[in-house]
Structure 1
Amino acid sequence: MLINCRRKFLLLAMLVHLAFPSLVLGEIGPAMTGLNGHANDATTAFTCPAGITRLDQSEVVLQTTFVYEDSKFKVDDATFGGGDGDSDSSILAIPALYYVRPLNDRWSFGLSINVPSGIGYDFGNSWSGRYHVTETSLAFVAGSAVAAYQLTDKLSLAAGPYMMYVDSETQARVNNLIPGYPDGKVKLDESGTDLGFVLSMMYQFTDSTRMGLTYHSELKPELDGTPTFHNVDPLLREALAAADLLGTEVDVDFTVPAIATTGFYTELSDRWSLTGDVIWVDMSEFGITHVKVEQDSISADGEFRDMWVTSAGIKYRFDEDRAVSLGGLYATSPVKDSKRIIAMPVDRIIGGG
């Protein structure tokens, strides 16, 4: 089966705020730059925790990011009829919470709860790949609690536990054995959690230039769930029962890759500033590594490769409340074209803003 994929994302709006003391709007640079270097508000509790020592009072940031998704799959060649996948357009609301509290002149505490990543598709029930997948989603919810210490006037360090909840749902049609019998359906919901760690540092070269470095560890949540079958014919149901696949839990070893980020922020003058970031994602370790059903198990290799993201931006500030910025972002593809799978047809990313 040969498939072409088109996906477009549009950031519509950000930041829903409530009346909290010292509440500010999360600041990010153009094209998502400055994630490590800014450290101007509580969002740095996640992006570069060492930067929370720069905040001299408690802050809460509530964010809601609205993402518009437009997907279309075109089938060039397939074993089964049905044609292209359905167009899938939707608006997603992605919430986040960040909190920072200075404890004294040296120590600060930070908390973050967000949805750092997720992916999902609805192909429809009649497309050519319906016996492989009709609908799939993979969502991540992360939380961290960090302590940051200002070691010197220039250097700050931070560390803390980092937890992630992973939720996966996959649906597909079932090609029944009896001729003329309508398609059945199978659905598998799985979820799991794991605990890792986050390390961070920030170095202030001058009053106007600083650099941040952050590492989020690899996580290995064990996902489990029981597939449910609907409208399968008697012959297939008997075969599934004989293979002990009806009502049997499926255990999946899943790997969330480690992520290392570094970036800088520098003020060229009272009005001009530059930001830049480099992100490394250990995608070669990403995905399902082992599947177990009762006593039977198989190992899997997603054949992903490490992903690199670079971004840079420039900002001009008219006054304290008004500014204009421009930036660009490029992310390498984590998988070769020949190894791309339907459930995750990711490719390189080029962005601007």
Structure 2
Amino acid sequence: MLAILAIGTPAGASQAGGLYLYEIGTRDAGLASAGWAARAADAGTLATNPAGLARLTQPELIVGAQPLYLDLEFDPDENTTVAGSDGDPASWIPSGGLFYARPVNDRWAWGVGVYGNFGLGIDYGTDWVGRYYVDEVTLQALAFQPTLSYRINERWSIGAGIVGLYGVFDQRSRIRNLEPGTPDGRLKIDDEQFEITGNFGLLYEPAAGTRFGLQYLMETKLEFEDNPKFTGIGPLLSQVLENAGLVGAELGLDLTYPNRLILSGYHELDNRWAVMGNLGWDQWSEFGKVDVLVAGEDTTSLTFDRNYEDTWHAAVGAEYRRSAQWRFTGGIAYDSSPVKDRYRTPDMPVGEAWRFGVGAEYRLREGLTISGTYALIWSGDLDMDVDRGPFAGRVSGKYSDTAIHALGLVFNWKY
């Protein structure tokens, strides 16, 4: 059982406020997500509120690059019992989106999008103090979404998308061998899965220039399976793993892609200024309940509760049209933490998140614009203290000035 516990709790990826990303390769990053479900200004609305497609009057293509820089550094304190280096997994992570939308008539519209909106990854290195918990982890999902939208009347629109979710899970850690002086062993668990979920939207326009939108993203389970790969294991530990039934066994990990609700408003003050905002909820308490199945000579089924909590989201932003060529955006958002300090772990060092976004759009010619965005996702200092006993040791300290920097370059064609 000790060996099962040592590998059984799967990792997430570092994204403050949870693993959902608002930065999906659209201009919304320059608003810190404000107006997410109500702007409905371009083809990217199929991801943020499918009902918004019915507002579009021209075929439209969006290509967006959204590289993310993860600024994460762990500083261990005197309570840490494992020798090794500080954790400094800062890295660039590629991301972006591709969206196409086409009106059928004045009522119907369809679209399709490919975008990454879930997860990140961490690589601490093989000698850091928390290597017996995790030294490298990736949990990411790529969404492929065909979408249909219908305009009921001048005020109401509805929309729905079928989301094909391609999930990737890869976790690696070191294992302390029982023979003195023996180098660490290694453990790797990885799998890829494809699941189907839904993205639904409602849009209400009480007057020209004023909109309210509601998005519901439906939960689904990503059911990863793999035979744990042990290498560099000494004879004593090998016997322990054999006795626990883990050598050659199949490990199943069920992770929940959680429910999400976002309510947004958008209002044009005049022909230059517009203001917008969001309120949202993500059900991260369900993501924290992880079903683990170890199938070998004997089958063991466990549920690990990471003590996660649902998160709350709020955002405000503004848009300023300087001229026919230039438009500028800015916004600020807040997401509560899915986990209290005492439950934070090195595989998913998350906390509350403040987002600050700015953006600029330039019209190159009729129907073609280019936009640049920048978003800072700031979580500051995150305390952590985990102790799994002598097998993995105690790792105590804090992540200092935790942040993600999201740069965006977006091309938008209307024809």
TM-score (norm 1): 0.89
Look up the match of 1:154: 155
CA distance in 2, matches of 1:223, 1:51: 34
Establish whether residue 339 from structure 1 lines up as the match of residue 340 from structure 2. Answer: no
Q: After superposition, give the CA deviation of every residue in 1:219-244 in whole Å (9 maximum; x if it has no partner).
A: 11211112111111122223323333
2:190 aligns with: 189
AA paired with 2:209? S
Distance (Å, rounded) in 2 between the aligned partners of 1:262 and 1:304: 23
CA distance in 2, matches of 1:225, 1:68: 30
Could you say which residue in structure 2 is the equivalent of 1:88? Answer: 89
User: What is the aligned partner in structure 1 of residue 81 from structure 2?
Assistant: 79
Shift in CA distance, 301/88, structure 1 to aligned 2, threshold 3 Å: same
Report percent identity of matched pairs.
34
Counterpart-to-counterpart distance in 1, 2:47 and 2:330: 23
Q: Matches of residues 139-288 of structure 1 in structure 2 within 5 Å?
A: 139-288=140-289
Q: Which residue of 2 aligns with 1:18?
A: none
Instruction: Find out whether 1:328 has 2:332 as its counterpart.
Output: yes
> Is the contact made by 1:316 and 1:325 (CA closer than 8 Å) also made in structure 2?
yes
Shift of 1:187: 0.9
The one-letter code of the counterpart of 2:93 is: L
Amino acid of the structure 2 residue aligned with 1:315: E
- Counterpart in the other structure of 2:390: none
> Which one-letter code corresponds to 1:66 in the other structure?
P
Which of 274, 289, 312 is 1:308 aligned to? 312
CA shift in 2, pair 1:29/1:264, >3 Å:
farther
Aligned Cα root-mean-square deviation (Å): 2.1
How far apart, in 2, do the equivalents of 1:195 and 1:35 lie? Answer: 23
* Offset of residue 143 of structure 1: 2.1
SS in 1 for 2:181: coil
The one-letter code sitting in structure 1 at the alignment partner of 2:172 is Q
Q: Which residue of 2 aligns with 1:112?
A: 113
Distance 2:264 2:29 in 1: 12
Number of equivalent positions: 335
CA contact (8 A) 1:30 1:327 kept: yes
Query: Is contact 1:108–1:148 with CA below 8 Å preserved after alignment?
Result: yes
Distance 1:321 1:213 in 2: 31
Q: Name the stretch that deviates more: 181-190 or 322-331.
A: 322-331
**Residue equivalent to 1:22:** none
Unaligned runs of 5+ in 1: 1-5, 16-24
1:302-339 CA-to-partner distances (Å, cap 9, x unmatched) read: 21111111110122211122133332111111111111
Choose 193-202 or 262-271, whichever is displaced more: 193-202
Shift, 1:53, TM fit: 0.5
Relative contact order, higher structure (CA 8 A, sep 6+): 2
Letter of the 1:187 counterpart = K
Secondary structure at 1:342's aligned position in 2? coil
- The C-alpha deviation readout for 1:100-141, integer Å capped at 9, x for no partner, is 121222111121221102122222222221111111121111
* Cα distance in 1 between the residues matched to 2:242 and 2:24: 50
Q: Distance in 1 between matches of 2:243 and 2:116?
A: 41
Cα distance in 2 between the residues matched to 1:38 and 1:26: 11
Question: What secondary structure does 1:251 align onto?
Answer: strand
Counterpart-to-counterpart distance in 1, 2:225 and 2:15? 30
| Structure 2 CA distance for partners of 1:7 and 1:278, relative to 1, 3 Å | closer
Matches for 1:61-80 after TM superposition, within 5 Å: 61-76=62-77, 77-80=79-82
After TM superposition, the structure 1 stretch with the greater mean CA deviation from structure 2, 32-41 or 148-157, is: 32-41
Q: Which runs of 5+ in 2 are unaligned?
A: 1-13, 358-415
Deviates more, 1:91-100 or 1:263-272: 91-100
- Kept after mapping to 2: 8 A contact 1:141/1:166: yes
Aligned to 2:363: none
Give the AA of the match of 1:322: W
Matched to 1:193, the amino acid is: F
CA-CA distance at 1:166 after TM superposition: 1.9
Aligned to 2:8: none
**By how many angstroms is 1:79 displaced?**
2.6
